[in-house]
Structure 1
């Protein structure tokens, strides 16, 4: 039965790929071959995703059969043989879906696990968002689609596959290493495209225009220009979905601070008591100064210069202070957008909670780079304001007293839903890094 199932997967994959090759392009056909690869590498794709692919293939062939048979009937042409052939292909796909769902699929791919459902949900989320964005946006969002027009479906499927991998890695990460690596990857891609754009290749820039990559400008830029609210809206959507996790998964600058803090020779040191006041003052300045500059009709080069100085100081803080202290000082004491995220995060439902049985051993504090698990925070029984839901502390607690929480969900289910959302957003942001 194992060999029969493998052959059936390959045949269904090839017939569907042949359909897309005939009515589309090679770029459309290649994603249909992914299930064929999974027939030889069972861990490549989660079984629920393969089942959905088989059902999708059945719907495709049923639709094609009805459409072509109707066309032949309307023109008085023979249609019975065509209907039988395409009907057989449709039934073969349905049979494959049934086998994958049943004992044969379990024997070949292993038992259905929660991780398989999480990976499938992430792939569907990424694919759905990118498809919607591609259809609703006049610009080619995906870099590959800019170099190879018409290849969008291929890249969307590839990023959906990557998103499934990321969610699986995050679920099984017991050392807190995966988040930093995928975050660094996003930052490298983001700034790599920026540098290539600066070198003269405007194709790497979404609109062909350069924008200073300083997080504070997400708020300050629109206030100065009086327009361009796309980034604040994007930030707001991410906040609604994953709370302040923007600061630990999605911020293009924050990954630098994370890398610098990890180079510290000792455990993270707490921020000084005046740090929150400094951060609040910087947020106030980020709001007031752009408005004043606009009212005074200050030219944009001067405003851009001030923003560049602010960004350069931030980089210096990462390199000199975060690297020495082990705490992400730029993100927790300097970045005004981080404070906005933290404050809004307090009224949103996502939380990292500390169980009532916490022994206050302090092991979680050694993993927290956001200064959110100080001794005072542990005594209060909840992470501090600067918590960004990074989750690095969870595997460090030997008693399992730390976990994600969301109203109506168990701790484990909340973590799974959070992983789907944050892995999906990370993948979408990676796919459109220079938007």
Structure 2
């Protein structure tokens, strides 16, 4: 390590400790802890992207400049000595600016590597996650973050921690060369969701967002509000995700879909095609999901009976995953049974996000073996576009030996479209993970 890189590392640690001490003096340990993240990044360079560290140094400089001005003015108003204080705090401010300059220059490149598109995506994801959670925490009528429920006043720590996690997730997705990262983080999301559900069922209502239990069957996102005539939070949430990332809810955010993905991966290496009648089955189930709750409501059927029907529907879905998806290698539940999946696919066709197939495609079929959504069949490849069941999972992208597959969005290059898509979907994944309780 060069002397400048060593100096950069030392200054990062000193500035982090100084800023953490400030927050500890005027706040709590929970507020001070995030200020130590840059110090950790000095020894683990992959923890935070360089642009985010530059912004952190700039923020620290502004913090200390503001503190210096305020405290010097206060002392001047009371006729107290202020010059030494101004010099000390000014030196701390300059140290932060020095760290920022070093991070921008060669020393930062030596320590953290060159800045590229991945760094921009990781930084944008961290800022988007942090900003969204801060806004949600301030506007929500309940405590959204689980850690904040157990440790009141710790919200800012968990928000910063989830922002760091979002940065890591987006980096993992962009650097994935085997199409495995998405499935792993999706499984983590589902595991956290259902672990909190089980703890809630065990009597710990603190693990439930509203303190009330809701059956985790995706079809109820639509059927539940139609039956009750209220409670449209989940449809709104689904609609927001559709507007941002199209049908990617089905491949990144659905707590049940992760099960189907895991079980399908236990099946044959080459997924089997769906039967010709599968689209008709799913269309019929979507109609039933809309009509049935309205009929039950019109007949004034009590909610336990409606809940029982929903539970049966969910159990049948689990059986389909365990039997059909496991044996075929195709996500049969998500592509032939789940009505919400069909809603996402249909609305997704009206939205701009796509997985596009280049005109030079040789139709070798390598991508078909990676697609568990039955969206890259021989017929789809001949048409030059993925089928209706495409959920923008992206597993097919690294499998194409010629690079003919990629995300597309009007006005963006293929590389930029992928960066924007990963930023949005990783941010949604982490925000939903942070508030995963039902």
- In which range does the TM-score fall when normalised by the shorter chain? over 0.9
Aligned residue runs from structure 1 range 308-387, under 5 A: 308-387=311-390
Match of 2:407, SS state, is: strand
Residue 100 of structure 1, aligned match among 99, 103, 111: 103
Cα deviation, residue 273, structure 1: 1.2
Aligned residue runs from structure 1 range 25-424, under 5 A: 25-424=28-427
* Inter-partner Cα distance in structure 2 for 1:266 and 1:88: 61
In the comparison of the two structures, how many residue pairs are matched?
435
Which is further off, 348-357 or 2-11? 2-11
* Inter-partner Cα distance in structure 2 for 1:406 and 1:86: 48
* Inter-partner Cα distance in structure 1 for 2:15 and 2:46: 19
TM-score, structure 2 length as denominator? 0.98
* Inter-partner Cα distance in structure 2 for 1:41 and 1:308: 47
**CA distances 1:33-70 after superposition (whole Å, capped 9, x unpaired):** 11111222222211111100000101111121222223
Cα deviation, residue 253, structure 1: 0.2
**CA distances 1:61-108 after superposition (whole Å, capped 9, x unpaired):** 112122222322333333222222212211211121111101221122
* Inter-partner Cα distance in structure 1 for 2:151 and 2:268: 46
Cα deviation, residue 266, structure 1: 4.3
**CA distances 1:153-180 after superposition (whole Å, capped 9, x unpaired):** 1111111111111111111111111000
* Inter-partner Cα distance in structure 2 for 1:350 and 1:294: 37
Please tell me whether the aligned partners of residues 241 and 249 of structure 2 are also in contact (alpha carbons under 8 angstroms): yes
* Inter-partner Cα distance in structure 1 for 2:431 and 2:123: 15
* Inter-partner Cα distance in structure 2 for 1:111 and 1:314: 48
* Inter-partner Cα distance in structure 2 for 1:76 and 1:224: 70
TM-score, structure 1 length as denominator? 0.98
RMSD, aligned α-carbons: 1.0
* Inter-partner Cα distance in structure 2 for 1:387 and 1:308: 27
Q: Does 2:436 align with 1:433?
A: yes
Match of 2:221, SS state, is: helix
Cα deviation, residue 121, structure 1: 1.0
* Inter-partner Cα distance in structure 2 for 1:209 and 1:403: 42
- Runs of 4+ aligned structure 1 residues displaced above 4 Å come to none
* Inter-partner Cα distance in structure 1 for 2:44 and 2:284: 55
